Amino acid sequence: MLLVTGVSGALGSLVAERLAGREDVVLGTRAGRPGTRRLDFDAPETLPGAFAGVETLLLISAGYGEDDVVVARHGAAISAAEAAGVRHVVYTSLSGDGDHLTYALAHRWTERRLRRSTTLDWTILRNGLYAEFLTWIAAPDAEHRITGPLGEGRLAAVARADLADIAVSVATDPAAHRNRVYELVGERPLGGADLAAALGAAYVPGTLAEARAAIAASGAMPFQVPMLASTYSAIAHGFLDGTGVARNDLRALLGGREPLDALDVFVKAVREG
Ligand SMILES: NC(=O)c1ccc[n+]([C@@H]2O[C@H](COP(=O)([O-])OP(=O)(O)OC[C@H]3O[C@@H](n4cnc5c(N)ncnc54)[C@H](OP(=O)(O)O)[C@@H]3O)[C@@H](O)[C@H]2O)c1
Q: Which helix (H) or strand (E) holds 30?
A: none
- pLDDT of residue 163 exceeding 90, the answer is yes
pLDDT at 32: 83
Across 248-255, average pLDDT: 97
Give the separation between CA 265 and CA 3, rounded to whole angstroms: 28
* Ligand 1 atom nearest 40 alpha carbon: 32
In terms of C-beta density within 10 A (0-12 exposed, 13-18 middle, 19 or more buried), how is residue 168 classed? buried
Q: Is the pTM of this model over 0.95?
A: yes
The SS3 of residue 268 is: helix
* Ligand 1 atom nearest 8 alpha carbon: 39
pLDDT tens digit sequence for 87-144: 999 999 999 999 999 999 999 999 999 999 999 999 999 999 999 999 999 999 999 9
Query: How many Cα neighbours within 13 Å face the side chain of 156?
Result: 23
Q: Contact 259/162 with Cβ under 8 angstroms?
A: yes
Residue 185's pLDDT band (cuts 50, 70, 90): very high
Distance of CA 104 from the midpoint of ligand 1 (Å): 14
pLDDT > 90: what percent of the chain? 97
Distances (CA, A) of 134 to 93, 137, 138, 239: 18, 5, 5, 16
pLDDT at 184: 98
Fold annotation for 2-272? Rossmann fold (3.40.50)
Give the separation between CA 47 and CA 33, rounded to whole angstroms: 16
Give the separation between CA 114 and CA 177, rounded to whole angstroms: 14
Residue 30's pLDDT band (cuts 50, 70, 90): very high
Q: Identify the CA nearest to 64 among candidates 78, 75, 74, 54.
A: 74
Q: Is any atom of ligand 1 closer than 6 Å to the C-beta of 46?
A: no
Ordered by start, the domain boundaries in the chain are 2-272
Pocket test for ligand 1, best of 11, 79, 224 (most atoms within 8 A of CB): 11
Pocket test for ligand 1, best of 30, 129, 231 (most atoms within 8 A of CB): 30
Residue 256's pLDDT band (cuts 50, 70, 90): confident
C-alpha triplet 251, 253, 259: angle, nearest 5°? 35
* Ligand 1 atom nearest 41 alpha carbon: 32
Across 227-233, average pLDDT: 97
